[in-house]
């Protein structure tokens, strides 16, 4: 309990003058009597002379003090925050996943859920506390637990279904965590049930009541779209599309693949129920663009009828080769169609990256390499955390890391090397090729520097003559600078954060969502990140160094399958319980035609008033006298 | 306080008093011949007994009829008559100055009435005034001619000072030359009590009567409010809030007080008479005392 006006309590200090007043002597009239012999030795004035005796003896003073205390307390305006015993705590969990946009319930599942939630909140009595949680990718509390129903209703009205996969279980877990062990709490989950719930304490909690809004699902979905570059041919692509029919009937529909609005493939597809079909559609294209896959069908869920993919503009990797002259390196780098090569002599290079994406140092040791992406061939600049211990004569290759991206498709067994640097790494990284006595090729990964160290002279080995050499170089360039080359890095699932390496020197990024909203993204440690991918479509990331576009697709087979699974039955009296027939409504009807059973043995041998009353009731209900009971009754009566 | 001695009584009352005489439950030895039977055999007209003649007996008292019949000499004995000493002991302390008329007034009038009866019947009448421990007064005197003197003495009694009934009565008992009928007129309101004084009188074989005078305001106090009560004799003060409790307690104490007095008198064979100071004295004397003190 606290007080709104605690200063009023000082009023109680008046009790001090009150008590003092009380102890003031009464001015008494003097009266002479013949003798004091018969007068009592005083009833209280004399006996109760000490302070506390007096207080104790005087109920009047106590009453006055109590009245003063009550007055002071009342003026101090005490307030008590009481958890009402009977108050309900209701948590409304709204499923905002993509499947809630399905239109099998008019106007949509989400609208139905919202209406149900609003009705539930409006129907709550005074004092009930309501919380609203949107089950997005992250559960979001849009209205904290409070008695403010209007706020809860506003939160429900403001809720929107997103193009997101279902994370209902996390939301339920959040709700349970927020209401803790409160036994009177109710968690109402409004969802379509288009998912499979695992067995967990969240599902088994009796306080959770599941409210299903979905009925059936007639849906055909594109569950994946990816574009791959052909291994050969610089401009040849393959589109990989998966289509699934989640309906119970066969569906025939038109499929169309567009590139920047122009159709590049069109097909009539018929899918049997619950059948997945994957298609590979090759096409050629130079330069960037947007690939869109569309289904022309009117099904319950529109979001998964379109899928997007982005073809990055054919930007080449700028490679700076610092070398006194190395035919092998120059030849291999020039052959790669995605590399634009610049060659400098060692005296033209003072360290750093310049404008290049990757710098290759061939037996050149600049005073300082600095941050960036490097390939060090037979060279260790002083600021690179590698310690040179000496030389390795004819090192024997023991093993190589086949899982490392740099060693993809590479066979290193037969490579012979005359001699190599014997190094000891001083920072994090991975040994890619290991020989007896040390690492031959080492992948360095520092916060601001990524580099591959090749510890031997290319002229003292047969490595450049082997097929492994161009592969290692090609893999290394793509490992060092992945976003420039790989299509898959421009495609994200809805709800997944967009994470892209930021170009050198970029600090701010503006993200334009498919609906045209501009949001500031974050740049941390050389990566652009953006988390609110709750719409499908093309997101544009604008930086001072140009624009990058990425595609966000639902691409979630579970979400596209709209068929509601049975929800856990609410134990007790949840809203999901079976509807109770309204017996009261039938009370005013006519009894004509109703069968009324009277067990004969109960009414035989009745006497007196009871017998006559029952006979009258039977007569009234059965005027045609079908009842053999009647005769039995008259018989019984006649006996008495 | 009556202005003159003649204002005490009406002549009618005096005439009524003249027909009365004092009644003593005990027979006292008197000093001189009076009108009262004595323990001694004497020379009154009333025959009492015979006894055998002894040498020296007056031949006038020999019963010759008996001598003639029995041939023996017997002497007739007669009842002797002596006087009675009436002691009027009046409490004149300050506490007697209450009521209207005051208790002292009332006491003086009763004393005067009794003294008048005594003097008229040739008894000795003495007055003791109890005031501040000492008993002053008027020595026992007899003779009808002394009535005026008695009334003068009584008229001069004024209330003053405290009382110590025990000491005063003890004093009086010790100083009295002749025991007799003692009538103590007092309100008995003495914190030290009155019992030992009365006992002293009894020890001197006084026939004690107690006339207890109380003012109506003492029997039925009508005080109210917060008061400081002052004792008229000691000057002691007591603060008291007059409420139902206080009055009830007073009444209870008064009842116990009177009960104690009555019990005391009953056990000591003391005649106890109570009157309120505003009651008519004549009626009290003629009705209440008649048959007990007076005949």
Mutate to test the interface with B, among A22, A25, A30, A33 (most CBs of B within 10 A): A33
Measure CA of the first residue to CA of the last residue in chain B; give whole Å: 28
Cα A284 to Cα A237: distance, rounded to the nearest angstrom: 6
Q: Is the peptide bond before A416 cis (omega within 30 degrees of 0)?
A: no
DSSP state, residue A575: T
Chain B residues lying within 8 Å of A32, measured CB to CB: 229-232
A33 contacts B98? CB cut-off 8 A: yes
pLDDT value at position B39?
61
Cα A375 to Cα A428: distance, rounded to the nearest angstrom: 16
Q: How would residue A633 be classed by pLDDT, with cut points 50, 70 and 90?
A: very low
User: Region A290-318: what's the mean pLDDT?
Assistant: 83
Lowest mean pLDDT among A322-336, A337-351, B37-51: B37-51
A30 contacts B226? CB cut-off 8 A: no
The answer to whether A306 and A288 are in contact (CB under 8 A) is no
Chain A residues lying within 8 Å of B94, measured CB to CB: 34
Q: How far is CA B208 from the centre of its chain?
A: 7
Q: Measured between CB atoms, which of A26, A36, A40 is closest to B231?
A: A36
pLDDT value at position B35?
64
The answer to whether B108 and B155 are in contact (CB under 8 A) is yes
Q: How would residue A48 be classed by pLDDT, with cut points 50, 70 and 90?
A: very low
Cα A297 to Cα A302: distance, rounded to the nearest angstrom: 9
User: Region A74-88: what's the mean pLDDT?
Assistant: 72
Neighbouring-strand partners of residue A583? none
Residue A68 vs residues A7, A11, A19, A22, A327: alpha-carbon distances, Å? 15, 8, 12, 14, 105
Q: Measured between CB atoms, which of B226, B234, B249 is closest to A28?
A: B226
pLDDT value at position B2?
42
pLDDT value at position B260?
93
| Continuous segment of H or E residues that includes residue A54 | helix A51-57
pLDDT digits (tens, 9 = 90+) for A367-382: 888 888 899 999 888 8
Q: How would residue A233 be classed by pLDDT, with cut points 50, 70 and 90?
A: low
Look at residues B76, B68, B78 and name the one whose alpha carbon lies nearest to residue B50.
B76
Cα A138 to Cα A164: distance, rounded to the nearest angstrom: 10
B228 contacts A45? CB cut-off 8 A: no
B227 contacts A38? CB cut-off 8 A: no
pLDDT value at position A551?
86
B79 token code pair: 């009842």
The answer to whether A20 and A54 are in contact (CB under 8 A) is no
Cα Rg for chain A, rounded, in angstroms?
43
A50 vs chain B: nearest CA distance in angstroms?
Answer: 16
pLDDT value at position A314?
67
**Tokens 């239109």 belong to which residue?**
A103
Look at residues A451, A453, A322 and name the one whose alpha carbon lies nearest to residue A378.
A453
Q: Where are the beta strands (DSSP E) in A502-600?
A: 509-512, 518-524, 527-530, 537-543, 546-553
Look at residues B160, B115, B167 and name the one whose alpha carbon lies nearest to residue B138.
B115
Q: Measured between CB atoms, which of B191, B230, B257 is closest to A30?
A: B230
Residue B250 vs residues A33, A513, B93, B257: alpha-carbon distances, Å? 13, 103, 22, 10
pLDDT value at position A42?
58
CB-based contacts of A141, cutoff 8 Å, min separation 6: A131, A132, A133, A174, A178
Query: Dihedral through CA B114, CA B116, CA B119, CA B124, nearest 10?
Result: 40
B207 vs chain A: nearest CA distance in angstroms?
Answer: 28
Cα A99 to Cα A110: distance, rounded to the nearest angstrom: 9
Residue A231 pLDDT > 60, yes or no?
no
B245 contacts A38? CB cut-off 8 A: no
Q: A65 φ, ψ to 5°?
A: -65, -40
pTM for the whole thing? 0.43
Cα A637 to Cα A569: distance, rounded to the nearest angstrom: 57
Q: Measured between CB atoms, which of B98, B227, B253 is closest to A34?
A: B98
Residue A389 pLDDT > 50, yes or no?
yes
Mutate to test the interface with A, among B238, B245, B257 (most CBs of A within 10 A): B238
A495 token code pair: 């709800």
A46 vs chain B: nearest CA distance in angstroms?
Answer: 8
Chain A residues lying within 8 Å of B230, measured CB to CB: 30-33
The answer to whether A430 and A404 are in contact (CB under 8 A) is yes
A43 contacts B246? CB cut-off 8 A: yes
Q: How would residue A452 be classed by pLDDT, with cut points 50, 70 and 90?
A: very high
Look at residues A316, A329, A321, A314 and name the one whose alpha carbon lies nearest to residue A345.
A321
B233 contacts A33? CB cut-off 8 A: no
Lowest mean pLDDT among A30-39, A578-587, B41-50: A578-587
A40 contacts B95? CB cut-off 8 A: no
Q: A54 φ, ψ to 5°?
A: -65, -45
Mutate to test the interface with A, among B161, B189, B223, B240 (most CBs of A within 10 A): B240
Q: Count CA within 13 A, CB hemisphere, residue B45.
A: 1
- Nearest Cα residue in chain A from B161: A34
Mutate to test the interface with B, among A39, A44, A47 (most CBs of B within 10 A): A39
Cα B21 to Cα B79: distance, rounded to the nearest angstrom: 19
Cα B104 to Cα B102: distance, rounded to the nearest angstrom: 5
Chain B residues lying within 8 Å of A49, measured CB to CB: none
Residue A639 pLDDT > 70, yes or no?
no
Q: Measured between CB atoms, which of B94, B228, B257 is closest to A30?
A: B228
Q: Measured between CB atoms, which of A26, A33, A43 is closest to B231?
A: A33
What is the edge-to-edge ordering of all strands in the sheet holding A236-245?
A: A220-229, A236-245, A275-284
Q: Measured between CB atoms, which of A31, A39, A45 is closest to B250?
A: A39
Residue A335 vs residues A234, A341, A374, B259: alpha-carbon distances, Å? 12, 10, 19, 144
pLDDT value at position A575?
42
A214 token code pair: 């979905």
ipTM: 0.72
What is the edge-to-edge ordering of all strands in the sheet holding B237-242?
A: A29-33, B225-231, B237-242
B191 contacts A29? CB cut-off 8 A: no
B183 vs chain A: nearest CA distance in angstroms?
Answer: 22
Q: Measured between CB atoms, which of A29, A35, A41 is closest to B227?
A: A29
Chain B residues lying within 8 Å of A42, measured CB to CB: 238-240
Q: How far is CA A232 from the centre of its chain?
A: 41
pLDDT value at position A577?
44
- Give chain A's count of helices (H) and strands (E): 13, 32
B218 contacts A43? CB cut-off 8 A: no
Chain A residues lying within 8 Å of B247, measured CB to CB: none
Chain A residues lying within 8 Å of B222, measured CB to CB: none
Chain B residues lying within 8 Å of A45, measured CB to CB: 239-241
DSSP per-residue codes, A155-195:
HHHH----S----HHHHHHHHHHHHTT-TTEEEEEEE---S
- Nearest Cα residue in chain B from A26: B226
DSSP per-residue codes, chain B:
--SSGGGS--HHHHHHHHT--B--SS----SSEEEEEEEEEEEEEEEEEEEE--TT--GGGB-HHHHHHHS--EEEEEEEEE--EEEEEEE-SGGGS-TTTTHHHHHHHHHHHHHHHHHHTT-EEEEEEEETTEEEEEEEEESGGGHHHHHHHHHT----S---HHHHHHHHHHH-SS--EEEEEE----TT-SHHHHHHHHHTT-EEEEEEEE-HHHHS----EEEEEEETTT--EEEEEESHHHHHHHHHHHHHHHHHHHHHHHHHT-EEEEEETTS-HHHIIIIIIBTTTB-
A414 token code pair: 């037969």
Q: Measured between CB atoms, which of B187, B238, B241 is closest to A36?
A: B238
Chain A residues lying within 8 Å of B215, measured CB to CB: 34
Cα A294 to Cα A303: distance, rounded to the nearest angstrom: 10
Residue A46 pLDDT > 50, yes or no?
no
The answer to whether A511 and A540 are in contact (CB under 8 A) is yes
DSSP per-residue codes, A404-469:
SGGGTT---TT--BSEEEEEEE-SSEEEEEEETTEEEEEEEEETTEEEEEE-B-GGGBSGGGSTHH
How many contacts (CB atoms, under 8 Å) link A and B? 91
DSSP state, residue A485: T
Q: Measured between CB atoms, which of A28, A32, A34 is closest to B187?
A: A34
Chain A residues lying within 8 Å of B226, measured CB to CB: 26-29
A43 contacts B249? CB cut-off 8 A: yes
Cα A518 to Cα A539: distance, rounded to the nearest angstrom: 10
Phi-psi region of B136 (alpha: psi -120 to 50; beta: other; left: phi over 0): beta
Phi-psi region of A120 (alpha: psi -120 to 50; beta: other; left: phi over 0): alpha
CB atoms within 10 A of CB A21: 10
A138 token code pair: 């992250």
What string of pLDDT tens digits covers the 295 residues of chain B? 444 444 667 777 777 787 777 776 666 666 666 666 666 666 666 777 888 898 888 888 889 999 999 999 998 888 777 778 889 999 888 888 888 888 888 898 888 888 888 888 888 889 988 877 666 788 888 888 888 888 888 888 888 777 788 888 888 888 888 888 899 999 888 888 889 999 999 998 888 999 999 998 888 888 877 788 888 888 888 877 787 888 888 899 999 999 999 999 999 889 899 888 888 888 888 887 777 777 6
Chain A residues lying within 8 Å of B238, measured CB to CB: 36, 39, 41-42, 46
A388 token code pair: 């040179």
A37 contacts B189? CB cut-off 8 A: yes
B215 contacts A43? CB cut-off 8 A: no
DSSP state, residue A371: S
Q: Measured between CB atoms, which of A26, A35, A44 is closest to B189?
A: A35
Q: Strands B207-214 and B85-91: what pairing?
A: unpaired
The answer to whether A358 and A374 are in contact (CB under 8 A) is yes
B189 contacts A39? CB cut-off 8 A: no
């Amino acid at each position: 309990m606290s007080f709104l006006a605690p200063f009023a309590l000082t009023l109680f200090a008046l009790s001090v003058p009150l008590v003092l007043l009380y102890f003031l002597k009464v001015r008494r009239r003097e009266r002479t009597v013949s003798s004091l012999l018969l007068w009592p030795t005083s009833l209280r004035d004399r006996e109760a002379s000490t302070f506390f005796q007096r207080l104790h003896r005087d109920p009047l003073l106590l009453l006055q003090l109590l009245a003063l205390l009550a007055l002071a307390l009342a003026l101090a305006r005490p307030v008590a925050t009481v958890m009402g015993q009977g108050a309900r705590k209701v948590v409304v969990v709204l499923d905002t996943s993509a499947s809630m946009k399905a239109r099998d319930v008019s106007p949509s599942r989400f609208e139905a859920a919202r209406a149900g939630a609003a009705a539930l909140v409006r129907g709550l009595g005074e004092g009930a506390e309501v919380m609203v949680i949107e089950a997005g990718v992250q559960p979001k509390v849009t209205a904290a637990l409070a008695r403010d129903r209007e706020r809860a209703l506003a939160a429900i009205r403001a809720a929107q279904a997103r193009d997101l996969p279902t994370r209902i279980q996390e939301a339920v877990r959040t709700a349970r965590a927020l209401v803790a062990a409160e036994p009177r709490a109710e968690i109402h989950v409004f969802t379509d049930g288009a998912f499979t719930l695992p067995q967990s304490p969240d599902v088994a909690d009796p306080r959770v009541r599941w409210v299903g809004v979905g009925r059936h699902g007639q849906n055909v979905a594109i569950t994946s779209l990816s574009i791959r570059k052909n291994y050969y041919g610089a401009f040849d692509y393959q589109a990989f599309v998966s289509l699934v029919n989640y309906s119970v009937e066969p569906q025939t529909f038109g499929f169309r693949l567009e590139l920047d609005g122009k159709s590049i493939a069109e097909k009539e597809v018929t899918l049997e129920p619950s059948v997945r079909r994957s298609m590979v559609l090759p096409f050629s294209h130079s330069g960037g663009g947007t690939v869109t896959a569309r289904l022309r069908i009117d099904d319950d869920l529109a979001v998964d009828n379109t899928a997007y993919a982005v073809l990055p503009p054919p930007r080449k990797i700028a490679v700076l080769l610092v070398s006194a002259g190395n035919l092998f390196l120059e030849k291999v780098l020039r052959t790669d169609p995605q590399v634009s090569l610049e060659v400098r002599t060692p005296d033209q290079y003072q360290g750093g990256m310049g404008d290049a994406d990757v710098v290759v140092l061939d037996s050149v040791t600049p005073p300082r390499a600095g941050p960036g992406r490097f390939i060090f061939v037979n060279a260790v600049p002083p600021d690179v955390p590698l310690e040179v211990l000496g030389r390795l004569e004819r090192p024997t290759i023991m093993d190589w890391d086949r899982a490392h991206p740099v060693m993809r498709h590479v066979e290193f067994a037969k490579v012979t090397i005359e001699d190599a640097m014997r190094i000891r790494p001083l920072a994090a990284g991975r040994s890619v090729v290991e020989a007896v006595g040390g690492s031959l090729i080492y992948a360095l990964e520092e916060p601001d520097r990524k580099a591959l160290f090749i510890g031997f002279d290319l002229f003292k080995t047969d490595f450049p003559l082997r097929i492994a050499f161009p592969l290692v170089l090609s893999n290394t360039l793509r490992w060092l600078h992945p976003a420039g080359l790989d299509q898959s890095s421009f495609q994200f699932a809805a709800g997944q954060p967009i994470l892209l390496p930021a170009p050198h020197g970029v600090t701010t990024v503006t993200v334009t969502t498919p609906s045209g909203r501009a949001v500031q993204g974050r740049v941390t440690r050389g990566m652009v990140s953006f988390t609110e991918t709750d719409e499908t479509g093309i997101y544009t990331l604008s930086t001072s160094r140009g624009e990058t576009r990425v595609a966000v697709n639902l691409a979630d087979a579970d979400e596209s399958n709209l068929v509601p699974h049975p929800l856990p039955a609410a134990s007790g009296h949840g809203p999901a319980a079976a509807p109770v027939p309204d017996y009261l409504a039938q009370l005013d009807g006519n009894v004509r035609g109703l069968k009324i059973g009277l067990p004969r043995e109960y009414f035989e041998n009745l006497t007196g008033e009871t017998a006559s009353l029952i006979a009258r009731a039977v007569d009234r209900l059965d005027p045609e006298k079908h009842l053999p009971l009647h005769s039995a009754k008259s018989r019984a009566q006649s006996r008495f | 306080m009556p202005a003159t001695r003649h204002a005490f009584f009406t002549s009618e009352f005096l005439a009524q008093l003249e027909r009365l005489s004092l009644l003593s439950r005990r027979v006292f030895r008197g000093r001189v011949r009076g009108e009262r039977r004595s323990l001694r055999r004497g020379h009154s007209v009333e025959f009492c007994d015979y006894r055998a003649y002894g040498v020296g007996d007056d031949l006038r008292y020999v019963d010759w009829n008996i001598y003639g019949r029995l041939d023996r000499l017997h002497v007739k004995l007669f009842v002797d008559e002596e006087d009675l000493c009436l002691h009027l002991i009046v409490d004149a302390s300050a506490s007697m100055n209450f009521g209207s008329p005051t208790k002292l007034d009332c006491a003086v009038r009763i004393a005067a009435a009794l003294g008048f009866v005594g003097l008229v019947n040739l008894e000795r009448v003495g007055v003791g005034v109890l005031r501040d421990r000492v008993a002053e007064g008027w020595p026992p005197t007899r003779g009808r001619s002394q009535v005026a003197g008695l009334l003068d003495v009584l008229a001069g009694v004024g209330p003053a000072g405290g009382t110590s009934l025990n000491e005063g009565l003890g004093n009086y008992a010790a100083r009295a030359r002749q025991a007799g009928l003692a009538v103590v007129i007092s309100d008995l309101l003495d914190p030290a009590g009155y019992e030992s004084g009365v006992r002293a009188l009894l020890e001197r074989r006084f026939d004690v009567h107690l006339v207890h005078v109380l003012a109506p305001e003492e029997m039925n106090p009508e005080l109210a409010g917060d008061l400081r009560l002052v004792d008229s004799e000691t000057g002691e003060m007591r603060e008291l809030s007059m409420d139902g409790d206080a009055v009830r307690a007073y009444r209870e104490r008064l009842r116990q007080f009177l009960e104690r007095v009555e019990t005391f008198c009953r056990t000591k064979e003391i005649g106890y008479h109570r009157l309120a100071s505003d009651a008519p004295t004549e009626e009290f004397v003629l009705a209440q005392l008649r048959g007990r003190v007076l005949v």
